[in-house]
Every structure is written in structure tokens, then in C-alpha cells.
A and B are shown apart, each in its own frame.
Chain A
């Protein structure tokens, strides 16, 4: 199995710790002097850059959350002047305000490097054809894979998401060998290929790198069985860099975290204490090389555990297990982050009130579907069918514009949504993970 950067990926752990310490100290100094938000927070905690002498001192530093990103919207957490920023990406936030990330030229180079590692660990090289069916645009998926693919010298096919007929046609005609998309879209494609009458022998596909949404071992088996490929899990979040934070190698035994760039901790989401290796808790990242948007102890809300044993592929980088869930109410639908509070905001803007609602997430024919049941209140009840339909249509449009997902709105009678004791149930997720 090829390794893109064996110096770092297979580094002896003591040496790695030394490098992490160096890089952390530089990062802390940089954010202390360049980002007022971090300086204030550190001063409040009675800390200065000199308080962090080793990577073991990291736990002294305060956490950063998505709310902090929102409060500093759009650029206040950037640690460099805007003239140094060469790229801006954004993903949806909790209240409709997107989470904004900025990259310097060096950050783009780091991102390309970690994506090159990801693709190499999936067995890809300059002779491969990589079909990138992740969305391009503000979402980090498409461009992240793209730069990594070019870096390893593969032939990149930037087809982006959707248009399944064309995906299949080019997959056959160009001889794509690597497929990059969400796992649910991979399954959808598998079935579309079966229906298209194209024979497996006509395709040269050998491996898929799938991420941006949670998936199970069952889904992996199904994809591998239907597409006759190796299906690998990749992990990333735009705040940290995008895809490329961690990825599985061909031995499929956990996702190697590029910890010479992104330092992971596992904390108890309740007590916020760091947990010993092997225990399951919330994954926290500190970026130790990023320039544009360095993050100190960023709470991902993803629940997982870490394994520090050397992998049989030869890499020494720590492995994270598949994410088990979230410590908040965020949903990942077709790779898009969705908080129920975003739906609430749209409802409030539209009717001036917050009616009872229920989001129902399902997976039909391998694609996530969203239905929003809304109890009809007098405030927006109209006596004419066409008017009521117009209200429903407007609500659907507003939701799609603000969230970036199509949601089917259904009106139900008051009390049509079952009340629960205690915290209101806003989401029913019927997907099986």
C-alpha cells in the first residue's frame, strides 16, 4: 500500500508529539496576538502564550464552539489580514447565519496535502480517474477532493453532484476508477447503474471515498456488494479544513487523523474533561498549522473514540472510529448540516409565531427525504384552498432558500403532532445508522 507522506504519516509517536508541541505553541501565539476573541478568552482564564509549553498543556485552553463562529461572523476569527485570504467557504449554521471559513495560500496547500494522503491511502495515484460527485461551491466537499486529486496527479473529473444519467455515462466513457460522493448517493448510483443496463465489466471503478454524512457498516457492505468496489469512509468538517481531516486506509480499521495538522482530543460532553484513550466522547480539534482560521479546541459535537495503536498499513497516525452520533441536535441530510432551530426561524419569519412542527427524516431509495409537519394556526389559516396552498408553497420556498434543502411541507390539525412530556420532540429520524 502506497503512503503519500510516510515521514509524517508513519512518524514515531514521540517525534510526532514534539512536532505537535512546536506547532501548537506557534498557533497559540499567533491567535493570542492576532485574534481579539482568543486573546480575551485566554486573558479571562489567566493564560498567556507562555502558559502553553507542551501539547499536554492544551487542556488549559478554553473551548471554541459553532456559536463562537457565529458570534464572530463573518471574518472576526481570521488570524490574518483579508489580503492573505485566497478562498472562502461556508456551511450552514444554527440560526441561518452560515459558518464561514477562510484559507490562506498555505492553508490550501495543507488541504491539498491531507487530501493527497486521503486519496493515496485509498490506493489512488496518477494513473487514476477520480470522479468527484460531491457538490462544488461553498460546500468544501467538491473542491477539497479536487485539489487532492490534482496533487497526486490523477485525472480529476469535476462533475459535481446530481445528474445521475450523466454520472453513469461519464463513469463508463472516461473509465472512472475512483468515486467520491456521499455514501447515500453512492448507493443511489449503484441502483441507477443496475437499472441502466450497463454491465459491471464496462466500468473500471475500483474504490470509493465516501463521507459528509454518517453511514453504517451495513451501508458499506451494500455499496461494496452492489458496486463491487472498496468503500472507504472519509471525515472532515469545514471549520477544521473540510474533507481531509481523517480517512480510512484500505485496511478499513478506523480513520487516520492527520494529527500533524489537526490535534484531536476526546472529551466528556457533560463534564468537558478530557477522556483517556479508547473511551467514547465528543471529538475536539485544535488546528496546529492553519493560518486563515486557526481553531483552538473546537467542539465538533461528533461522538467517537480514538485508537493510538499502529495500523497494519504502517501508519502511526491515531485512528478515530466511525462517528456514533452527535452531542447536539444537528442533522446531516444529503451532506448538508441542518439544525431544527433553522426551521423554527423560517416559520417564525413567515407567520410571526412558532407553530408546533415535526421534522421527519427518512431515507427512501437511498436518498434522504425531509418532511415538515406544521400544525395549522389561525395566524396563517386561509379559507381558500389556493391561498392555503400558496402559504404552503411559500413556506417550502423559504425553507429551501434558507437551508439549501428541499423540504415537503404538510399541514396538520392542531394537536396533530404528538406532544411529549418534557422537551418537545422536533425531529423523527427514521434513517437507520
Chain B
């Protein structure tokens, strides 16, 4: 249920994101989800890709600083109340959400969450019959 996510350090200048995507593209890496967090000086690119180990090696070869982080993913109807419910479940369990991002397919949303405790989060969400997505399934989307 735990999904490996790549985090890449980027300077905040034009063309850097393009370069990451180009080198991954050359090796036919598929991107399921992507998000960027940034400050005025630097950014952190977060990626969920089909082959994280390979993608990490490619990026390192091209001199990017890359870390693997654990995230979890939940599929839910695209209405705000479901997103809210997920966050409520986690906060009730005193699990903090460090960041989250989402994309929707049809009337469903795929929500990615970085939690202070992934295992506890998975357990709690399952108990509330939330639909957790496995890494292998996520890559097929």
C-alpha cells in the first residue's frame, strides 16, 4: 500500500523541469502523478513513476539530487466532502499530513498523501473502508 515517490531538488529557474522530464522521457519512464512545491529560490518536484528505482538512477546519472519518500494513495469520488473526510480520519488519529496532491479521472479522484506515519494511516483509512491503491495499480492509471 506504500507507494515510493521520487523527490527531486530543483533550482527555481526556467528549463529545469523540462530537463527532468526529458531525461525520463528518453528512457520511457511513465509519470502517473506530479507536483511541485516551491519557494522563491528552489523547488521540490515530486513524482510517482512506473519504475522508481530506474528513474532515480537515471536522474542521479544526470546530477539531480533525488530521494525516495513513502506516500499513500486513496481513490475516492471527486467531491470535496470525500477529500475532507479522508483528512478528518487522519487528523482524528493524530496523523499529520505533510502534503497532499490529487488528480481526477472521470468522477473519481486519486489522492496522494504524505503522512507522518504511513502504516497507521493505511490502517485507519482501511477501517473506514476507504479505497487504498496499490503501487502496481497506480502505475496502470
Residues of A near any B CB (own CB < 8 A): 375-378, 381-385, 388-389, 410-416
**In the complex, A36 Cα to B109 Cα: how many Å?**
78
Q: In the complex, what residues of A have CB within 8 A of residue B16's CB? A: 413
Q: Is the CB of B65 within 8 A of A378?
A: yes
- Return B65 CB to nearest CB of chain A, in Å: 5
Beyond contacts A378-B66, A385-B38, A415-B63: 19 other A-B pairs, Cβ-Cβ < 8 A, are A381-B9, A382-B67, A383-B7, A383-B46, A383-B67, A384-B37, A384-B44, A384-B98, A384-B99, A384-B114, A385-B37, A385-B39, A388-B9, A388-B42, A411-B11, A411-B41, A413-B9, A413-B64, A414-B64
Q: Is the CB of B9 within 8 A of A411?
A: yes
The yes or no answer to B10 lying at the interface (CB within 8 A) is yes
Mark each residue of chain B from 1 to 33: 1 if its CB lies under 8 Å from any CB of chain A, else 0: 000000101110000100000000000000000
Q: Is the CB of B67 within 8 A of A378?
A: yes
**In the complex, A92 Cα to B99 Cα: how many Å?**
43
**With A383-B44, A385-B39 known to touch, is A414 a contact of B7 (CB < 8 Å)?**
no
| Residue in chain B with minimal CB distance to A386 | B98
**With A383-B46, A383-B69, A415-B63 known to touch, is A376 a contact of B39 (CB < 8 Å)?**
no
Which 5 A/B pairs are nearest by Cβ-Cβ distance?
Answer: A383-B7, A414-B63, A415-B63, A376-B9, A383-B69
Q: In the complex, what residues of A have CB within 8 A of residue B67's CB? A: 378, 381-383
Q: Is the CB of A383 within 8 A of B41?
A: no
**In the complex, A362 Cα to B42 Cα: how many Å?**
22
Q: In the complex, what residues of A have CB within 8 A of residue B114's CB? A: 383-384
Q: Is the CB of B10 within 8 A of A413?
A: yes
Q: In the complex, what residues of A have CB within 8 A of residue B42's CB? A: 376, 388, 411
Q: Is the CB of A416 within 8 A of B39?
A: no
Q: Is the CB of B41 within 8 A of A410?
A: yes
Q: Is the CB of B65 within 8 A of A414?
A: yes
- Return B36 CB to nearest CB of chain A, in Å: 10
**In the complex, A270 Cα to B44 Cα: how many Å?**
48
24 A–B pairs (Cβ distance < 8 Å), ordered by A? A375-B65, A376-B42, A378-B65, A378-B66, A378-B67, A381-B7, A381-B9, A383-B7, A383-B44, A384-B44, A384-B98, A385-B37, A385-B38, A385-B44, A388-B42, A388-B44, A411-B9, A411-B41, A411-B42, A412-B11, A413-B9, A413-B65, A414-B63, A414-B64
Mark each residue of chain B from 29 to 69: 1 if its CB lies under 8 Å from any CB of chain A, else 0: 00000000111011010100000000000000001111101
Q: Is the CB of B39 within 8 A of A381?
A: no
Q: Is the CB of B65 within 8 A of A381?
A: yes
Of the listed residues B41, B63, B65, the one surrounded by the most CB atoms of chain A closer than 10 A to its CB is: B65
Q: Is the CB of A389 within 8 A of B7?
A: no
- Return A380 CB to nearest CB of chain B, in Å: 9
- The A-contacting residues of B in range 79-104, CB under 8 angstroms, are 98-99
**With A383-B44, A385-B37, A389-B39 known to touch, is A376 a contact of B7 (CB < 8 Å)?**
no
**In the complex, A413 Cα to B16 Cα: how many Å?**
10
**In the complex, A382 Cα to B67 Cα: how many Å?**
8
**In the complex, A415 Cα to B11 Cα: how many Å?**
12
**With A383-B46, A385-B39 known to touch, is A413 a contact of B66 (CB < 8 Å)?**
no
**In the complex, A176 Cα to B48 Cα: how many Å?**
67
Q: In the complex, what residues of A have CB within 8 A of residue B39's CB? A: 385, 389
**In the complex, A326 Cα to B90 Cα: how many Å?**
61
Q: In the complex, what residues of B have CB within 8 A of residue A411's CB? A: 9, 11, 41-42
**In the complex, A376 Cα to B114 Cα: how many Å?**
22
Q: Is the CB of B65 within 8 A of A376?
A: yes
Q: In the complex, what residues of B have CB within 8 A of residue A415's CB? A: 63
Q: In the complex, what residues of A have CB within 8 A of residue B65's CB? A: 375-378, 381, 413-414
Q: In the complex, what residues of A have CB within 8 A of residue B11's CB? A: 411-413, 416
**In the complex, A411 Cα to B66 Cα: how many Å?**
14
**In the complex, A414 Cα to B41 Cα: how many Å?**
15
